[in-house]
Amino acid sequence: MRVLFAGTPEVAVPSLRAVLGSRHEVIAVLTRPDAPAGRGRRLTPSPVAEVAAEAGIEILRPLKPRDPEFLERLGELAPDCAPIVAYGGLIPKTALDVPKHGWVNLHFSLLPAWRGAAPVQHAVLAGDDITGACTFQLEEGLDTGPVYGTVTEAVHPTDTSGDLLHRLSLSGAELLVRTLDGIEDGALSPQPQPADGVSLAPKLTVDDAHVDWTAPAMRVDRVVRGCTPAPGAWTTFRGERLKLRPVALERGRDGLAPGEIVVEKSGVRVGTGSHAVVLGEVQPQGKKAMPAADWARGLRLEPGERLGA
């Protein structure tokens, strides 16, 4: 088939590369406009745009996919199908209706669970044991379209959202190509999503990433892992923000108040609403990330000092 590929961030790159290596022809790529990045805040192409440029493929960067210039060009291209992965914008019905086989969305959850912008993060936050990815027919509703196929993925106890999303981006890319093959062959027809089991996964905010030390240790662990790498879990110490990397759960001896810090040879322990956790890397405000033990050595802690106080 002649396809228009839509996507923007790094997580969409494996899918674009997989489609480029398939029997289908990528005639153009739709991505978000160049955005400021780095210390110099220079306008930088999206990861998907960079791969498309390497492959010599036409790149479409409308401010919004309802822009008349984009819709006109889409009509001229007349793709058979439009695979879409983490594009970052709503596709209007006028564009949805152009490809003969519609738009096929690769979504990183097992729909109808975790509809929305942050399915992997919410799966980690919720403590799901199993998640996955699915391909479905894009429609105007929020991730409500009928499903073509799925792959499953175990959520490991130490997985961050970044770890899990990386694995799903690879297995999902294979699923997307198999879906396109099945659509062209006439072997696949999408099936409606179940009415039960719907859950929503809105984008996480900075406030969502603020660690509450009065919560149980398991909740603290999930918040930190679910918000790594973005938006980045954090707490405060001596009035300044302290970013947190994944922690280790510790059972047994405790006796620490929520947020209370104890520095030992085995590591930096912090009290929670249940039992202590051991800090991994931390990043003080204006500094680089470092092991918690290195951070703690220069503190001269006062007895009873706490994180989040």
Residue stretches of the annotated binding site for (6S)-5,6,7,8-tetrahydrofolate: 109-112
Residues 6+ apart with CB under 8 A from 241: 234, 235, 285
Pick out the residues of the known binding site.
Answer: 109-112
Rounded (5°) CA angle 107-90-71: 120
Q: Tokens 């961030």 — which residue?
A: 9
HEC string of 152-221?
A: EEECCCCCCHHHHHHHHHHHHHHHHHHHHHHHHHCCCCCECCCCCCCCECCCCCCHHHECCCCCCHHHHH
Q: CA 35, CA 177: separation in Å to the nearest integer?
A: 29
User: Residue 241, SS3?
Assistant: strand
User: Per the structure block, which two tokens stand in for 294?
Assistant: 């290195």
Strands 281-284 and 240-244: antiparallel
Q: CA 38, CA 49: separation in Å to the nearest integer?
A: 17
User: Residue 31, SS3?
Assistant: coil
